Structure 1
Amino acid sequence: MRDILTDRPPGCVAQLTRRALGAALLLPAAARAQGPNGGSSTRPVTIIAPFGPGTPPDLVARMLAEALQRQRAQPFVVDNRPGASGTIGAAAVARAAPDGQTLLIATGTAAMNVSLFRSLPYDPVGSFAPVVLLASVPFAIIAHPAAGATLPEVVARARANPGRVNYATPGVGTPHHVATEMLRQRTGIQIEHVPYRAAGGAVADILNGTVSLMFLPAPQAVELSRDGRVRVLAVATEARLPELPAVPTTAEAGVPDMLMSDWYGLFAPGATPPDTVLRLNEAVNAVLPAMTQPLAAQGMTSLGGPPERLRALFAAEIARWAAVIRTGGISAE
């Protein structure tokens, strides 16, 4: 995972994309309005966000649409298609014409869905052409103070009381659920799953002590821990986070091979010509520097790189989560 997700690709994408962005801004509007297939186009490009308005994928999609619209002098619109853990929106892109005019913002959930659903209305690999890896956000483990002061303490308590320690998630098959199942498998503990309909209810019951622990994106964990109502037990990353310097990584807390980050990638329909994919990739890499601060404000790290980087990550994530989901007997249906 380190080489795929956290390391910058060879050639320093950040420097290359800064130069590309500067060059793009010097082009006349007519040149920047070139369509995905190389010709002049004013047709709107649709970016499908397979989750609802205000969710992280929607925010990333809107940042990207705004940045690309400024760069290319071409309309980019966001179309929210929520439902079925993102599979409804993904199916719409799988069926779209492979002309670069319809794109998908996918998250790490897309890799989990391959194993969570008995069948999908598309080929999870063949129906999509990876364009670019956009951003990632790490996860952390939080707990009510009564559950324990450290992750080893919580694990020891769970071992001594099988089934008596519980955890919250926003629902069956969510990244929060799959991540906690991975923790359970890595430690051998028996803990009780308490699924909610949304993250808000789960967080509320962590705060009042009804449930003991929960995986959350690190930015949310930071905010919740400011007043001491929850503890951040560990971050599921290779290195400690600057915003949580005193919080150990999961490996430091005694749980190795326990990495968890959500990621955001841009995909096109599977039959999209390689030259169209390359043009889209170059366009997005050119605007990512301008998105770095807005993404950081949401706790995300901008990434970028060639299509192969996203393709490799997606394949690795499908295999990694398949093992966890199969062992845990998790199903979204």
Structure 2
Amino acid sequence: MSIFAAGCAMAASAWAWPDRPITLVVPYTPGTGIDLVARQLSARLPQVLGQPVVVDNVPGASGNIGSERVARAAPDGYTLLVQVSTLVMNKSLYKSLPYDPVNDFAPVAQTSWGTLLLVRNPSAQKAATVPALVAEAKARPGALTYGTPGVGTPHHLAMALLTQKAGIEMLHVPFKGTAGAVTDLLGGRLDFMFLPVHVALPHIRAGKLQALAAGSDQRVPQLPDVPTLAEAGIDTGSVDMWYGVLAPKGTPPAIVERLNGAIAGILRQPDVAAAFETQGMVPAVSSPGDFARLVAKDAARWAEVVKKGGITAD
């Protein structure tokens, strides 16, 4: 087949797309924030695209198993990845990934942002503000502790970035999941932690946790009196987690653009925004190009943090 004929065949295929069900691969267990994003999309995309859309949860290896499946799938628009910014963090955390998180995908659309809050147990005799935290950490290097759901998680890299920018040393205590870390934080056995808004907010409202700063560029609407990290004196830039949809590399641009437009329309629906809010997320409409630039920028930024901190997940 000539190059011209192959191009015509691809164009015809893209024009006919979709003519069968589409699969959204979620590389985590049901009930997670990224799973909620996928299920909101799967419930609404059929109304726009005219074909069923199913969610396939493929958890394991920090999202790498499901992500690899999509990276190796046919670039025909029928197998898509719904992921969080852990995707690009893994590029630097694992020495030998079987796929490239940046170059093996065609970014389709960012769907949302998820803000991380820096919190402490207010009953503990520890620094109650970010400047006080920095001062105490400098006075007693390694004495203050922080918990995370595990090495290389967004919570961990956010704190690693904070300590690097502030020039301080804190003791990292990794857990296997969020629940155990939160339990120890509430019990006063940990000093600090980054937590998603929806996880931290009930404890903050109950007076069991205090929010020191928001990791976003803007203050969190639910906590308007809590400063951002930049306002508190540490210019980390946003440590928010992004969520989005990606296709295998080589997916026809016409399919990517149609998917992007369909997803953008869904994200503008008020009930979708309300559903996202339950998981501490806010919708984010973007072009494929904007999302691609965000993915590449974040991969480079977190690579620097990982290298400087000597962090590895292997």
Fold match (TM-score > 0.5):
yes
Q: What amino acid sits opposite 1:263 in the alignment?
A: W
Correspondence 1:186 to 2:169: no
CA distance in 2, matches of 1:227, 1:55: 23
- 1:99 CA drift (Å): 0.7
- 1:73 CA drift (Å): 3.1
Per the alignment, residue 304 of structure 1 pairs with 285
Per the alignment, residue 243 of structure 1 pairs with 222
* Change beyond 3 A, Cα 1:252–1:46: same
CA distance in 1, matches of 2:32, 2:222: 22
- 1:305 CA drift (Å): 2.3
**Pairwise CA RMSD:** 1.6
Q: Which of 294, 302, 309 is residue 313 of structure 1 equivalent to?
A: 294
Give the conservation status (yes or no) of the 8 Å contact 2:112–2:242. yes
3-state DSSP of counterpart to 1:321: helix
Q: What amino acid sits opposite 2:121 in the alignment?
A: H
Question: Residue by residue, what CA displacement relative to the aligned partner does 1:220-252 show, whole Å, maximum 9, x if unpaired?
Answer: 222221111111011112222221111111112
CA distance in 2, matches of 1:295, 1:136: 9
More displaced, 283-292 or 262-271? 283-292
CA distance in 1, matches of 2:113, 2:239: 10
Question: Residue by residue, what CA displacement relative to the aligned partner does 1:253-303 show, whole Å, maximum 9, x if unpaired?
Answer: 121234210111111110111111112112212222222222233221111
Per the alignment, residue 176 of structure 1 pairs with 155
Correspondence 1:121 to 2:88: no
CA distance in 1, matches of 2:37, 2:312: 28
Per the alignment, residue 201 of structure 1 pairs with 180
CA distance in 1, matches of 2:140, 2:292: 42
CA distance in 2, matches of 1:319, 1:157: 31
Figure out how many residues of one structure are paired with residues of the other and give that number: 299
More displaced, 195-204 or 124-133? 124-133
Per the alignment, residue 45 of structure 1 pairs with 22
Give the conservation status (yes or no) of the 8 Å contact 1:179–1:215. yes
Give the conservation status (yes or no) of the 8 Å contact 2:59–2:66. yes
Equivalent residues in 2 for 1:1-333, closer than 5 Å: 37-39=14-16, 41-145=18-122, 146=124, 147-290=126-269, 291-333=272-314
CA distance in 1, matches of 2:299, 2:17: 37
More displaced, 255-264 or 291-300? 291-300
Q: What amino acid sits opposite 2:86 in the alignment?
A: T
CA distance in 2, matches of 1:318, 1:115: 8
Question: Residue by residue, what CA displacement relative to the aligned partner does 1:59-112 show, whole Å, maximum 9, x if unpaired?
Answer: 111111111123333110000111111111110001111110000012111111
3-state DSSP of counterpart to 1:99: coil
More displaced, 37-46 or 263-272? 37-46
Give the conservation status (yes or no) of the 8 Å contact 1:137–1:217. yes
- 1:187 CA drift (Å): 1.2
Runs ≥4 in structure 1, deviation > 6 angstroms? none
CA distance in 2, matches of 1:59, 1:240: 24
Give the conservation status (yes or no) of the 8 Å contact 1:52–1:58. yes
Give the conservation status (yes or no) of the 8 Å contact 2:91–2:97. yes
State the TM-score, normalizing by the size of structure 2.
Answer: 0.91
- 1:40 CA drift (Å): 6.5
Give the conservation status (yes or no) of the 8 Å contact 2:117–2:215. yes
* Change beyond 3 A, Cα 1:278–1:41: closer
CA distance in 2, matches of 1:277, 1:42: 15
Gaps of 5+ in 1: 1-34
CA distance in 1, matches of 2:292, 2:78: 20
3-state DSSP of counterpart to 1:38: helix
State the TM-score, normalizing by the size of structure 1.
Answer: 0.86
- 1:162 CA drift (Å): 1.5
Per the alignment, residue 20 of structure 1 pairs with none
Q: What amino acid sits opposite 2:249 in the alignment?
A: G
Question: Residue by residue, what CA displacement relative to the aligned partner does 1:152-198 show, whole Å, maximum 9, x if unpaired?
Answer: 12222222211111100000111111111111101111111111001
- 1:121 CA drift (Å): 0.8
Give the conservation status (yes or no) of the 8 Å contact 2:25–2:82. yes
* Change beyond 3 A, Cα 1:105–1:179: same
- 1:37 CA drift (Å): 2.6
More displaced, 106-115 or 122-131? 122-131
Percent of pairs with identical residues: 46
- 1:151 CA drift (Å): 1.5
CA distance in 2, matches of 1:125, 1:251: 28
Question: Residue by residue, what CA displacement relative to the aligned partner does 1:4-45 show, whole Å, maximum 9, x if unpaired?
Answer: xxxxxxxxxxxxxxxxxxxxxxxxxxxxxxx98332755210
More displaced, 224-233 or 143-152? 143-152
